[in-house]
Amino acid sequence: MRAIKKAGELIDMSKHKGEHPRMGATDVCPLIPIANITMGETVEWAQRLAERVGRELSLPVYLYEEAQADKTRSNLSVIRAGEYEGFFKKINELKPDFGPAVFDAKRGATVIGARDFLVAYNVNLNTTSVRRANAIAFDIREAGRKMTDDSGKMIIVPGSLKSVKAIGWYIEEYGIAQISINLTNINITPVHIAFDEVCKKADARGIRVTGSELVGLIPLQAMLDAGKYFLRKQKRSTGVSEKELIRIAVISMGLDELSPFKSEEKIIEKLKTTELSKALESGFDFSKMKKGTITTQVTGDNPFLKKYLGYNCESLLRKIHHHIGQMKLLPELYDLKEDKKINVKTRLENLGKRYILFSKFLTSK
């Protein structure tokens, strides 16, 4: 919510230019379930956020993917068609789900939704031609390309890869054209298959793939699968270490061509654990809780801890015990269906962990 508000303050869409399709200062805000939350719950949070943004910021908001009940308008490309420049007219035909049906010249409109994990992946080409890059993108993307048949009728020719969105663009920073790819379901089209298919289509057009890059994060299993795939292509054993499989995947797809590939920054499961997460994972002896009132000496500059300035430590201790007790007594306390019971338990556990983490800070001062 705060990010969307700040983007609207800082970005003037009437002066914005760029290669990537966009329709607002906050173009799209997806909520993605990673762990301890269901897609259904994520949808509820996305809808609540969308309603609040429309109401409090007076911004046109569209729901997409799982959060959108009307599947004729759940695809982001459908909503964003015409981009910012075309929305002054389009908003009269495609009414927003929340907020005013009046296009905001400075902030544009935004799209909020819930979806599964997406891998953003760019493939580097030895050309500067956006036209050729787009031709390859149309070859592979599921939506394919529009063509005219022998009778003069407009038809759609699908691309070769399912669950793939792609466009071609020129990256001035590197002086090359790229295929910018969104892999919307890596179980259907994994990253290594997308890479090989681009290589195949590029070669058919006399263009070489020189490498690729990940934008954001990728699951560990996707990298391990890629490593095994390229080893099998070489008729080599896949019985190597996890580290070696990742290395094979990186060098095979040229993931380090434009910048070093750091597993601890790119692979979800290998993200460096912070001191906070280390504290969260370890136990705590409640009997060592300090007495008195929580002050700035305890909280330091930590924004989470500052919320508890003035709290009585003993009161907080009782609160911790209360929530821990609730977790232990869940079957007796909640007359719910099993799936709802699990969701309640997860929320209580997360809340309990926050207090445990907080109490560790108290004892470290």
Contact 311, 293 (CB under 8 A): yes
Position 152 scores a pLDDT of 87
Q: Does the active-site annotation cover 20? A: yes
Q: What is the pLDDT of residue 57?
A: 96
Q: Is 184 helix (H, G, I), strand (E, B) or coil?
A: coil
Per-domain boundaries in the chain: 2-114, 119-270, 275-364
The predicted pLDDT at position 89 comes to 87
DSSP 8-state assignment for residue 217: -
pLDDT at 5: 95
By three-state DSSP, how is residue 19 classified?
coil
Its sign, for the CA torsion 321, 327, 329, 332, is positive
Q: Which pLDDT value is given to residue 298?
A: 52
Going residue by residue through the chain, which has 365 residues, state the pLDDT in tens, using 9 for 90 and above. Answer: 999 999 999 999 999 987 788 999 999 999 988 767 889 999 999 999 999 999 999 999 999 999 999 989 998 888 998 898 998 888 988 999 999 999 899 999 999 999 988 899 999 999 999 999 999 999 999 999 988 888 889 899 999 999 999 999 999 888 999 999 999 889 899 999 999 999 999 999 999 999 999 998 898 999 999 999 999 999 999 999 999 999 999 999 999 999 999 998 898 878 754 433 443 344 333 344 345 565 665 555 655 455 556 666 556 555 555 544 444 433 333 344 444 444 545 554 555 555 555 555 444 43
Element (H, E) at 306: helix 303-306
- The one-letter code for the residue type at 245 is L
Report the DSSP beta bridge partners of residue 182: 120, 165
Instruction: Identify the pLDDT of residue 180.
Output: 94
User: How far is 226 from 244, CA to CA, in rounded Å?
Assistant: 11
pLDDT of residue 355: 52
pLDDT value of position 202: 98
Tens of pLDDT along 313-354? 556 555 555 544 444 433 333 344 444 444 545 554 555 555
The token duo for 129 is 């031609």
Assign domain 2-114 to a CATH class.
Answer: alpha beta
Q: Which of 16, 20, 192, 321 is catalytic?
A: 20
Q: What is the Cα–Cα distance from 31 to 43, expressed in whole angstroms?
A: 8
The helix or strand, by DSSP H or E, that contains position 244, with its residue range, turns out to be helix 242-253
d(CA 268, CA 332): 37
Domain at 119-270, CATH class = alpha beta
Among 140, 67, 72, 64, residue whose Cα is nearest residue 109: 64
Residue 265's pLDDT is 85
pLDDT of residue 217: 87
